[in-house]
Structures are given as C-alpha cells and as structure tokens.
C-alpha cells in the first residue's frame, strides 16, 4: 500500500521532469566510454542488435519494476523493499550500498573529466597527448583531489536544492544541451578522413561501417554468450537499475504520470544517446587510429581520443572542448542521481532533513573520494580479481557493479516474480485505468527469463564460468 503519511514528499513537477531526470541518470560515463568500446570489441552491429533486444526485454522488466516499486511505496530504496516484504529488506540495504560505493569513485573520474576540460578550454589540449600524461596526472598527490572536490561540489549543490528546484531543473537545462552537442559531434565524426604514415587512408564513414554492420568473424557459441553478457552488464550502467536510483526517482513520480509511456521514453532516450556516443567516438578513432585505437575504460577518452583531437590541429582544441563538456554533463547528471539514491534513503530511514542528509553524505564521499585519489600514489596496491589487476577504484567498481548490482536485481526479480507476484507491479503501472501493453511480456521476463540471465551474469562475473 502507498504510505499515506508521505503526502508532503518531494516530487517531480510532471511527466517531462521525471523523464529528463531519469534519462539524465541513465546517460553517464558508462554510455560515453563503455558502450562504444564494447560495440567495437563485440562485433559492432552484433553487439548493438543484442543490446537493443535486451533493452526492450530484460532492461524493460527491471526498469519497470524499480520505478513502480518507488512510486507504489513512496520510499527510497532502503525502506521500499521492507514495505513489500520484511524478509527482503536486505535488498534495500544492498541497493543502498551500491551508490554508497559508487559515488566516491564516480566523482573522482568526474574530476578527471573536469581536468581535461580545463586543458582544452585554456588551449592546452595538445599537452594531454604527451606520453604518460594521464598516468602522471592521476598519480599526483593533490591536483586530482582538488578536481574531485570541484566535481562533487556541483553534484551536492543540485541535491541540496531539492528534487524540483535542483535535480529536475538541472536535468531540464543540461539534457537538451547534451543531446544537441552529441548529435553535432556525431555528424562531424562521419566527415573525418585521415591518411597515416603508411599512406593508408581511413574515413569516418568506414568507421561507421565498423560500428553498425554486424561482424560474425570468429564468432563461436562461447563468444556469442560473451557478447550477451557484455550487453547485459552494459544495461546496468545504461539504465541505472540495481543501485536504488530508479526506486528513488520513482518515489518522486506523481500518480498521474503514465509509467509505461515514461519508461518507453527513458529507454529510447538512453539507447539513442548510447548509440550516438558510439557514433561520436568510433568513426573518429577509427579514422585516425584504426581498430587498434579502441581501448577499454579510461584509456579511450583520456588517452586515445586526445590523440585524435590533436591530429585535427587547431580545430581539435574546439572539438575536444565540446567533447569534454558532453562527458562532464553526462557525468554530473549521473552523479546527481547516485547521490540522490543515498540521500533519499537517509531521509526516509533516519527522518533527517534533506540538508542534514546531504551534509552527512558529503562528508563520507569526501573522505572516501580522497582515498580513491590516493589509490594511485600513497595508497597504491595491486589486487587480482576475476576481471584483472585492480587498485582501489577498480576494487570498488568490481564490488558494486559485478557483485552487488546483479545480486540486487536477482533478489528483486525473485521478490516480485514469486513472492509479491507480478501483479504487484502491474497494478501500479495500470493505476488510474492506464493500459499496460507489455504486461504479458513483463510477467514472463520477471518470473523466468530475468532470474536465469542474472544467475549467468553472476557466475560469469565471479569467474566461475567464463563465457
């Protein structure tokens, strides 16, 4: 039942505010650097097709579940699951732990983005391509901490301002800017052409072919399953599920908001931005560096792309500045949502004010953000994980994304699919007589398909069976 004592709970102003804030959460660093890399690694169009299929089935089921739980309970993640079934209150704890772990290192990476943006805005972009620049910067003692603090301050300011005046207002301003910039850079990437030292000419249009045309070269059953696991893992990043964010945002959605329509819009917006991010990056990198220019994680946008911008001459400074503005906007809107998931839980559970909750979360984030920054110098260590060698940031990323998030999603699917029953969610989606056109698909996905796929993802993440 909906809590009758939460009538004064903050809320988004309406349909558009809810969609833009949710889309802002979904569109983050994972879209900008992870989606293009995976697409390039996993057969271009093959990865995209599998991702699209999963987005409208697997992703749709999880996104619908979390948003509906939030609106139905009118609670943040820490309290929402407890209201459904006290035996499953642990889901709320795990869901809250995910953003708690993510926020410090996400803001650290956000600080890296601001550093690079400052280099291009001040006309010093060429310096970023110097050998060892990125590694040299992140291993500095004080400068990464300063940029981390600046980035986090931007995030905290939006959270302290509240739901409608902070989160929604920021999203309404930044998301349209993001869309325009991404489209502009994407179209520009297609016009690029470069001849390397060996006389080989590559174009952005050739890079587009690499990106969108499915490649079945070397595809085996094991390789295909690996692509599926990659696409499924990317969905967690892309649509912000299993980290309490969509539960929190759902709790701010008004009863008159059409959930199915909103979820459809969020899916379309997120997938479009992810695709355009690839369109923005892959043709450019391919033209100037070939297929070998693609690399995972930070290497893509902090090492390889600056080399591409540098190859463009003076124009590259402008393009580089616009690109890092895009990345900064995406990072800020996502970090806002991550922090809000923690703050909303603190408000609900401890009955603190928004300001008090935000201050406590800020203190914690500052302490652990500094620890993450120091993980590349004073606190450096190497730990072997199933995903490879890890430092502080990598360890936090592995725990949150490869362990806790699949566990949260799996537990949620069991709770809704078999304990509370799918009708618990369907009743909320159809509130006020709204039609739920994909109700039958939802039932099958949340009861059977989603749990099976999540078990496979967990087994793969743990390194028990590698696809």
What tens digit of pLDDT does each residue of 316-335 get?
Answer: 999 999 999 999 988 998 99
- pLDDT tens across 106-139, in order? 999 999 999 999 999 999 999 999 999 999 999 9
Q: What gap in Å lies between CA 67 and CA 54, rounded to an integer?
A: 18
Q: What gap in Å lies between CA 463 and CA 286, rounded to an integer?
A: 32
pLDDT at 2 over 70: no
Beta bridge partners of 323: none
Which whole number is the average pLDDT over 168-195?
90
What percentage of residues in the chain have a pLDDT greater than 90?
Answer: 69
Look at residue 103 in the predicted model and tell me its pLDDT.
Answer: 97
> Kind and range of the H or E element at 385?
strand 383-385
pTM of this prediction? 0.91
Look at residue 298 in the predicted model and tell me its pLDDT.
Answer: 67
pLDDT at 159 over 50: yes
Look at residue 173 in the predicted model and tell me its pLDDT.
Answer: 87
Q: What gap in Å lies between CA 281 and CA 175, rounded to an integer?
A: 19
248 versus 26: the higher-pLDDT residue is: 248
- Pick left, alpha or beta for residue 290 (phi over 0 → left; psi -120 to 50 → alpha; otherwise beta): left
Look at residue 164 in the predicted model and tell me its pLDDT.
Answer: 74
Name the band, by pLDDT with cuts 50, 70 and 90, for residue 5: very low
Q: Report how many helices (DSSP H) and strands (DSSP E) the chain contains, helices first.
A: 23, 4
| Number of other residues whose CB lies within 10 A of the CB of residue 464 | 9
Contacts of 176 (CB under 8 A, 6+ apart): none
Look at residue 29 in the predicted model and tell me its pLDDT.
Answer: 81
Name the band, by pLDDT with cuts 50, 70 and 90, for residue 216: confident
What is the 3 state secondary structure string of 179-203?
Answer: HHHHHHHHHHHHCCEEECCCCCEEE
Look at residue 31 in the predicted model and tell me its pLDDT.
Answer: 79
Name the band, by pLDDT with cuts 50, 70 and 90, for residue 101: very high
- pLDDT tens across 356-414, in order? 999 999 999 999 999 999 999 999 999 998 878 899 999 999 999 889 999 999 999 99
- The three-class DSSP label of residue 76 is coil
Which whole number is the average pLDDT over 419-437?
96
171 versus 335: the higher-pLDDT residue is: 335
Look at residue 6 in the predicted model and tell me its pLDDT.
Answer: 42
pLDDT at 3 over 60: no
Name the band, by pLDDT with cuts 50, 70 and 90, for residue 179: confident
How far apart, in Å, are the Cα atoms of 147 and each of 119, 151, 205? 12, 6, 36
* Domains within the chain, CATH numbers bracketed: 15-461 (1.20.1740)
Mean pLDDT of the chain: 91
Which whole number is the average pLDDT over 282-295?
84
Nearest to 412 by CA among 61, 107, 52, 32: 61
pLDDT at 1 over 50: no
**CA angle (393 as vertex; 342, 91 as ends), nearest 5:** 35
Kindly report which listed range (4-18, 48-62, 220-234, 236-250) carries the lowest average pLDDT score. Answer: 4-18
Look at residue 297 in the predicted model and tell me its pLDDT.
Answer: 62
- Identify each DSSP E strand in 89-180 by its residue range: none
Contact at 8 Å (CB) between 319 and 125?
Answer: no
**CA angle (378 as vertex; 376, 380 as ends), nearest 5:** 45
Look at residue 354 in the predicted model and tell me its pLDDT.
Answer: 94
pLDDT at 16 over 90: no
Look at residue 4 in the predicted model and tell me its pLDDT.
Answer: 37
Which whole number is the average pLDDT over 206-229?
90
Look at residue 80 in the predicted model and tell me its pLDDT.
Answer: 96
pLDDT at 53 over 70: yes
Q: What gap in Å lies between CA 410 and CA 70, rounded to an integer?
A: 17
């Amino acid at each position: 039942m909906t809590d009758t004592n939460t009538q004064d709970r903050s809320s988004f102003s309406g349909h558009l505010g809810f969609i833009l804030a949710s889309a802002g959460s979904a569109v983050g660093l994972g879209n900008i650097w992870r989606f293009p890399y995976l697409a390039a690694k996993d057969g271009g169009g093959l990865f995209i097709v599998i991702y699209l299929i999963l987005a409208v089935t697997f992703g749709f089921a999880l996104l619908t579940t979390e948003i509906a739980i939030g609106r139905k309970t009118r609670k943040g993640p820490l309290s929402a699951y407890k209201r459904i079934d006290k035996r499953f209150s642990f889901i709320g704890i795990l869901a809250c732990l995910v953003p708690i772990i993510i926020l410090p290192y996400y803001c650290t990476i956000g600080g890296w983005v601001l550093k690079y943006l400052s280099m291009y805005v001040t006309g010093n972009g060429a310096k970023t391509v110097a050998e060892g620049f990125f590694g040299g910067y992140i291993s500095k003692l004080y400068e990464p901490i300063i940029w981390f603090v600046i980035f986090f301050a931007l995030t905290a300011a939006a959270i302290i301002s509240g739901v409608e005046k902070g989160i929604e207002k920021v999203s309404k301003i930044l998301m349209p800017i993001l869309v325009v910039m991404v489209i502009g850079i994407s179209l520009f990437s297609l016009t690029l052409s470069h001849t390397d030292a060996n006389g080989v000419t590559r174009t952005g249009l050739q890079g587009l072919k690499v990106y969108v045309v499915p490649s079945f070269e070397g595809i085996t059953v094991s390789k295909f399953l690996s692509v599926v696991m990659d696409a499924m893992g990317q969905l967690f990043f892309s649509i912000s599920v299993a980290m309490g964010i969509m539960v929190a945002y759902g709790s701010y959605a008004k009863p008159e908001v059409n959930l199915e329509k909103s979820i459809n819009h969020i899916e379309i917006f997120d997938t479009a931005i992810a695709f355009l991010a690839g369109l923005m990056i892959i043709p450019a990198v391919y033209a100037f560096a070939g297929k070998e220019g693609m690399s995972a994680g930070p290497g893509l946008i902090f090492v390889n792309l600056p080399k591409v911008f540098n190859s463009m001459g003076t124009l590259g400074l402008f393009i580089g500045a616009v690109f890092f503005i895009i990345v900064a906007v995406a990072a800020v809107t996502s970090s806002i949502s991550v922090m809000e998931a923690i703050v909303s839980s603190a408000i609900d559970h401890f009955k603190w004010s928004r300001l008090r909750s935000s201050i406590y979360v800020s203190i914690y984030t500052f302490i652990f953000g500094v620890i993450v920054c120091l993980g590349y110098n004073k606190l450096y260590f190497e730990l072997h994980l199933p995903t490879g060698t890890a430092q502080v940031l990598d360890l936090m990323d592995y725990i949150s994304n490869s362990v806790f998030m699949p566990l949260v999603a799996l537990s949620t699917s069991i709770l809704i699919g078999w304990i509370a029953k799918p009708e618990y969610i369907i009743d909320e989606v159809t509130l006020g007589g709204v039609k739920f056109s994909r109700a039958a698909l939802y039932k099958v996905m949340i009861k059977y398909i989603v749990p099976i796929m999540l078990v496979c993802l967990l087994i793969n993440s743990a390194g028990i069976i590698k696809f």
